[in-house]
Amino acid sequence: MSQKKITKKYYQILKKKIQMFSKQYYTYDSPTISDHEFDELYKELKFIEEENPSFISSDSPTQVIGSKIRGGFKKVRHTKPMMSLNNASNIDEFNSFYEKIITEFSKKVVMYAEPKFDGLAIALTYNNGVLLSAVTRGDGNEGEDVTSNIKTIQGLPLKLLTEKTPKRLVVAAEVYSLITDFQRINETLKKSKMKKFANPRNFAAGTVRQLDPVVAFKRNLQIYIHGVIDIDSHLSLPTHSESMAYLSKIGFPTCNLNKKINDINEAINYFDDISNKRVKLPYEIDGIVYKVNSYELRDLIGYTSKAPKWSIAFKFPSQISQTKIVDVTFQVGRTGTLTPVAELEPLSIGGVNVTRATLHNLDDIRKKDIRINDYVYVKRAGDVIPEVEKVNLSKREKTTEISMPMKCPACGETIIKISNQSIYKCPNESSCKPQIVQSIGHFASRKAMNISGLGENIIITLVDSALVKNYSDLYYLTYDHLIKLDRMARTSVNNLIDSINKSKQPNFDKFIYSLGIREVGLSTARVLSQNFNTLDELMNAKREFLESIKDIGPIVADNITNFFSMSSNVKKIKKLISSGIEVNYLEHLANKLLSNRSFVVTGSFNKISRREIEEIIISNGGKVSSSISKKTEFLVCGEKPGSKLDKAKKIGTKILTEEEFFKIL
């Protein structure tokens, strides 16, 4: 290494140079220096940093382009839940959202409107102005630590541009891709005959959730910030627009289309204006998010268990085009249900190529009178599977009626009709391939056992090679089994085994969900986990008891008892348990504390804000309403409570002080 005196200035120039060369290389695939020259510069930078650790800044290429992430992403619990948004899909739904706020809370309400970016949500935490972590939304309570990949995003400050940095700052951001980057990578994938990404959002999400930061860097991800989740209170930021201006000032990328809205007319004009600009934007948006601007008013309006009541996502209407149905095929779903699919003369809807559309079920086909050879209108909305909307009867010529097949198109088994429902099913659960593959996919999916590295192609290979007959076999796979399979290299085998092992302590609700019981989604699974102490209890539950649980109807109760009465299912569960799976019942006990209890919170508190109390209630399974009714069980009451306390006393609602509330917890 040269003996010249290294100054900080020299270091910074070298750093800038390397940043430029890496962008040329990784992002644009057009390097202007050789790999060797690049390596030499990089080595010099690293050497200087070793000699002068005080020079190292978090945006240095040595810090940003780290090594591959080993053994998958770490799970992290969000300190505050990341909520989702309620949707409005037409003007009436939007009007009623607006009207409700105006009539119930404030005659004049200022909103803040932002494009709804079609990407994935991330929580970014900064400690003393330095980026500490980037965590995906996950299920809202727990996400994955994807910091190494997020750090590669060029526009994201790793260090904030302010002297008076907040001690702790958590912001919500959307990671997305430019349409051109999505197309560029898809071209490359096509050339190497690999599977392409379906849309820019999947591309961005796939990039964030893969393990090599160099790949993330090459794909040129983008980010923009859409809100503050947590910030030191000494900064006085009473409104969202002021927070956004502050965030932009200290270096965060925000969207320059955001706008303050004073009344409903301005809201509609903004919607129309952005709808017109939409096709020219370099990224995809799927609607407009309207948010009440004042934080005080937000607190008054409150939250449901999933989403704030002070915000709404007004989605752009779906796009419709016309084409011809050339054939109808039938897809076998995870539980054996057949779904008719229209095979179309290919068409482009809003820039996306469409060749197939769902026809839902036979009832729907008859209702809309859809036949083979008909010209039909096909609708595509966001990420949803395209569907056939209606027939253009004026173009009808020679058509053929659609009928359900007698035999399963996948395994040949005789199809049965579920009485009174328009559902046709292949009953061959244990050996009909699409059913097996999809039930394993469901079991391994993120919301279930969260086994990463188990995509559909690998599952098909595992099933074809007879190594796996159902999901319980996954836990008996060994390195020697997997390494023999096509396209499985050492690293992917190790990662897969690692990820299977890591999934062995599922929370009770996720375990129930992963079993794939008909109509038992995650929220029903959660309800079940709160009503049974152990898996054994659930397996032996009587139908009557299940039905007595709030939110469980007779059909779901039947599905549950049927599932556990089948010896093949009991065998699978036993096999899972003997492989070393230990169901974690602790979390659900905590959730049970406040499960389905209804609260109202009023007044101001000493230790904690009203909003934080509400969040604690929600994350422990309780419900928070904004006004007292007969259904309210508890009023958590701070200082200067106002009329809610009087009403609670009148109705007889139990009143808790701040201390009493925490004692209950």
Q: Of the listed pieces 82-90, 559-567, 595-603, 642-650, which binds ligand IVH according to CB under 6 A? A: 82-90
CB of 229 to ligand IVH, least distance (A): 9
Residue closer to ligand IVH (CB basis): 226 or 644:
226
CB of 245 to ligand IVH, least distance (A): 15
Per this entry, what is the length of the chain? Answer: 665
Query: DSSP 3-state assignment of 405?
Result: coil
350 contact partners, CB below 8 Å, separation of at least 6? 319, 380
Q: State the Cα–Cα distance between residues 195 and 189, nearest whole angstrom.
A: 7
Q: State the Cα–Cα distance between residues 528 and 526, nearest whole angstrom.
A: 5
The contact pattern for ligand IVH, residues 141-180, with x = CB under 6 A and - = no contact, is -------------------------------x-x------
Beta bridge partners of 328: 342
- On whether the CB atoms of residues 385 and 341 are closer than 8 A, the answer is no
CB of 648 to ligand IVH, least distance (A): 28
Q: Of the listed pieces 77-85, 442-450, 527-535, 560-568, which binds ligand IVH according to CB under 6 A? A: 77-85
Residue closer to ligand IVH (CB basis): 116 or 526:
116
CB of 665 to ligand IVH, least distance (A): 24
Among 33, 56, 85, 179, binds ligand IVH (CB under 6 A): 85
Residue closer to ligand IVH (CB basis): 226 or 526:
226
Q: Residue 92's Cα: distance from chain center in Å?
A: 27
Among 137, 218, 259, 298, binds ligand IVH (CB under 6 A): 137
DSSP state at residue 98: H
| 3-state secondary structure string across 258-285 | CEEECCHHHHHHHHHHHHHHHCCCCCCE
Q: Which of 634, 641, 627 is nearest to 663 (CA)?
A: 634
Q: Map the footprint of ligand IVH across residues 193-252, applying CB under 6 A.
A: 226-227
Q: Which tokens hold the place of 397?
A: 């010529």
Report CA torsion sign: 164, 168, 174, 176. positive
CB of 149 to ligand IVH, least distance (A): 17
Beta bridge partners of 349: 352
CB of 422 to ligand IVH, least distance (A): 31
Instruction: Answer yes or no whether residue 121 interacts with ligand IVH by CB under 6 A.
Output: yes
Q: Of the listed pieces 17-25, 113-121, 246-254, 564-572, which binds ligand IVH according to CB under 6 A? A: 113-121
Residue closer to ligand IVH (CB basis): 143 or 621:
143
Q: Of the listed pieces 110-118, 236-244, 269-277, 574-582, which binds ligand IVH according to CB under 6 A? A: 110-118
Place of tokens 């348990």: 577
Query: DSSP 3-state assignment of 649?
Result: helix
Q: What is the dihedral of CA 271, 273, 277, 278, to 10 degrees?
A: 10
* Among 15, 116, 218, 425, the one annotated catalytic: 116
Q: Map the footprint of ligand IVH across residues 262-321, applying CB under 6 A.
A: 289, 308, 311, 313
CB of 312 to ligand IVH, least distance (A): 10
Q: Phi/psi at 207 (nearest 5 deg)?
A: -70, -40
The Cβ of residue 446 has, within 10 Å, a number of other Cβ atoms equal to: 14
Residue closer to ligand IVH (CB basis): 80 or 196:
80
DSSP state at residue 24: I
Residue closer to ligand IVH (CB basis): 121 or 171:
121
Q: Of the listed pieces 71-79, 109-117, 493-501, 535-543, which binds ligand IVH according to CB under 6 A? A: 109-117
- On whether the CB atoms of residues 41 and 21 are closer than 8 A, the answer is yes
The Cβ of residue 248 has, within 10 Å, a number of other Cβ atoms equal to: 15
- Interface size with ligand IVH, residues (CB under 6 A): 16
Side chain identity, residue 292? V
| Catalytic residue list contains 469 | no
List, by residue number, the catalytic residues: 116
Residues near ligand IVH, by CB under 6 A:
83-85, 114, 116-117, 121, 137, 172, 174, 226-227, 289, 308, 311, 313
